[in-house]
Amino acid sequence: MVKKSIHEINGRIRDGSVNVVTAEEMVDIVGELGAEGAAKEVDVVTTGTFGAMCSSGVWLNFGHSEPPIRIGKLWLNDVEAYSGVAAVDAYIGATQQSQSKGMEYGGAHVIEDLVRGNSIDMHGISPGTDCYPRKVIDTTINIYDLNQAIMLNPRNSYQKYNAATNSTNHTLHTYMGSLLPHYGNVTYSGAGVLSPMHNDPNYETIGTGTRIFLGGTQGYIVGEGTQHSPAAGFGTLMLKGDLKKMSSEYIRAATFEGYGTSLYVGMGIPIPILNEDLAKATAITDDDIVTNLLDYGIPSRDRPVLRTVTYGELRSGSIDIDGKEVPTSPMSSFKKSRQIANELKEWIRAGDFLVSMPVERLPTTTPCNAMKQTNVNPLVVDIMSSDVTTIHEDAGFHDAAKIIMEKQFNHLPVVDSGNHLVGIVTAWDISKAVAKDEHDLVKDIMTRNVVTTSPDEAIDISAFKLDSNNVSALPVVDSNKHVLGIVTSDDISKLLARRH
């Protein structure tokens, strides 16, 4: 039984005799020497990951102005930072978006601009007090002007993450990237074999106080991250580090089309090999790490699991979904993850980085519960109009015009002989048909690609569909495409008016 202390390992780091390898290299070493042999041979295994970590941000301290201000609201390059903490402290979060540029520029971009030493326009306001009389501050700062710029990321380094795909007939824009229709592609995150937490799944050396690589400099683990869910294999970490020492090589802003901004964070954890169990754990391979493939086409917290999949399969470039070979894309950079594991290895080899034991272990049983919601979610069935008239696709559009006029509504669902929804006609379609004078039948002038809803869908989802498709009504259909009713943006406005 091999047993080493952290002091022994640090002694070897100091005298230059330490043997450090990356988690990728460790796979073969354990394969060759066995866990016992590898534990004798190897002192430290380095890990690394570089991917989108939305739950990231930086605490900033600007120093006091003259006359002084207690900043109540603050914008950095037009991105709001939280300043409800004392006078001149603020927290800039990665996903906060610019008020003028939207998702093209956000908190993540402010953070990258700070790291690069770029100038940032700062605008703060305050009600003014006897001790802090100033009401407005406008200035331009860069990272060197700040007293502190401390990165504090509430939830980083997910142990693993679900892979994503899309069953619907339209492209989805998500934080997992563009998901093409009809299972057109699969995206995934994480560094697999190099994934920090997977290389010490019992959190023996990863815990509060562990010294790590963060953004190109030394950082620390504060403790478990928010939504830490170890029993399910979804552990997370809260991390801190000095932004002033970080590099844009490892801290990069990102924008996910149709979703918003996020921060790519580079981090790595050294695992001191104190015993055989740790040697064995660090020999984990991509094929050993299993995750779920979720259908992001279902707009619910509980997305269905289509299948389980290993990182080995995901990283091969394609996986099988129902007999179809679907291409995969990582959202994390394996090349950068490897670069981080190697850089950390070099630091340790050179004696510049000492490994540490946690001063407190991470919890291993914390549950991650869903939100408590005290208001019942209204459903489509609660507000839809069931009194809906339809028209046959072969009817003339004059008949459609007559119905719309008599019934005084603007949307007329179109059905085929089997009573299935095949299109929708609006007063606008009819005006267009009259003006162009080319067609006579409803089926020639109707919109065929109809966005629909179902009785049991949450109103919030219908409201999102109306908005994102730029339409003002959704036919409500059952699973056979029979029209049960219609929901309009007016119905939803009325509901909201009652709510507030």
Partner 1 sequence: MMIKINMAADIVTTPILAEAIIETGSLLNISQAHFDPIHGEVVAEIPSDQLAKIRDALVNRGAEVVVLNTPIHRDEDECVECGACISVCPVKVFSFADDWSIEVDSDKCIQCGTCLKMCPHNALALGQ
Q: Kindly report the backbone phi and psi dihedral angles of residue 136, in degrees, each rounded to the nearest multiple of 5, phi listed first.
A: -140, 140
| Burial per residue of 149-161, b for 16 or more beta-carbon CB atoms within 10 angstroms, e otherwise | bbbbbbbbbbbbb
Min dist. Cβ of residue 148 to partner 1 (A)? 27
Candidates 158, 213, 256, 397; binder of partner 1 (CB under 8 A) is 256
Site string for partner 1, 54-83 (x = CB under 8 A): ------------------------------
Candidates 180, 357, 458, 463; binder of partner 1 (CB under 8 A) is 180
* Stretch binding partner 1 (CB under 8 A), from 130-138, 179-187, 228-236, 379-387: 179-187
264 binds partner 1 (CB under 8 A): yes
Decide if 222 contacts 151 (C-beta within 8 A). Answer: no
- Residue among 304 and 327 whose Cβ is closer to partner 1: 327
| Gap between the Cα atoms of 341 and 210, Å rounded | 16
Instruction: Return all residues near 162 (Cβ < 8 A) that are at least 6 apart.
Output: 291, 292, 293, 294, 303
173 binds partner 1 (CB under 8 A): yes
- Residue among 180 and 427 whose Cβ is closer to partner 1: 180
- Site residues (CB under 8 A) for partner 1, limited to 335-394: 335-336, 338
The enclosing H or E element of 187 equals strand 186-188
Site string for partner 1, 181-200 (x = CB under 8 A): ---xxxx-------------
- Residue among 23 and 401 whose Cβ is closer to partner 1: 23
| Gap between the Cα atoms of 367 and 202, Å rounded | 16
Min dist. Cβ of residue 68 to partner 1 (A)? 39
Q: Which of 131, 370, 435, 497 is catalytic?
A: 131
Candidates 215, 219, 330, 423; binder of partner 1 (CB under 8 A) is 330
| Gap between the Cα atoms of 458 and 481, Å rounded | 19
- Assign residue 128 a region (left: φ > 0; alpha: ψ between -120 and 50; beta: otherwise): left
- Residue among 346 and 360 whose Cβ is closer to partner 1: 346
Site string for partner 1, 102-131 (x = CB under 8 A): ------------------------------
Does residue 131 have an active-site annotation?
yes
Neighbours of 77 (CB within 10 A): 22
Neighbours of 442 (CB within 10 A): 25
| Gap between the Cα atoms of 389 and 413, Å rounded | 7
Q: Kindly report the backbone phi and psi dihedral angles of residue 10, in degrees, each rounded to the nearest multiple of 5, phi listed first.
A: -65, -30
500 binds partner 1 (CB under 8 A): no
| Gap between the Cα atoms of 97 and 118, Å rounded | 18
443 binds partner 1 (CB under 8 A): no
Bond preceding residue 230 cis, omega within 30 of 0: no
Alpha-carbon 400 to chain mean position: 46
C-alpha to C-alpha distances, 430 to 27, 45, 392, 412, 414, nearest whole angstrom: 68, 70, 15, 11, 13
* Stretch binding partner 1 (CB under 8 A), from 180-188, 224-232, 276-284, 295-303: 180-188
- Site residues (CB under 8 A) for partner 1, limited to 304-323: 317
Alpha-carbon 430 to chain mean position: 43
- Residue among 83 and 157 whose Cβ is closer to partner 1: 157
52 binds partner 1 (CB under 8 A): yes
Candidates 56, 199, 328, 452; binder of partner 1 (CB under 8 A) is 328
296 binds partner 1 (CB under 8 A): no
Size of the site for partner 1 (CB under 8 A): 33
> CA angle 208-209-215, nearest 5°?
105
- Residue among 242 and 249 whose Cβ is closer to partner 1: 249
- Residue among 193 and 344 whose Cβ is closer to partner 1: 193
Min dist. Cβ of residue 185 to partner 1 (A)? 4
Give the footprint of partner 1 on this chain (CB under 8 A). Answer: 50-52, 173, 177-178, 180, 184-187, 252-258, 262, 264, 317, 326-336, 338
The residues that are catalytic are 131
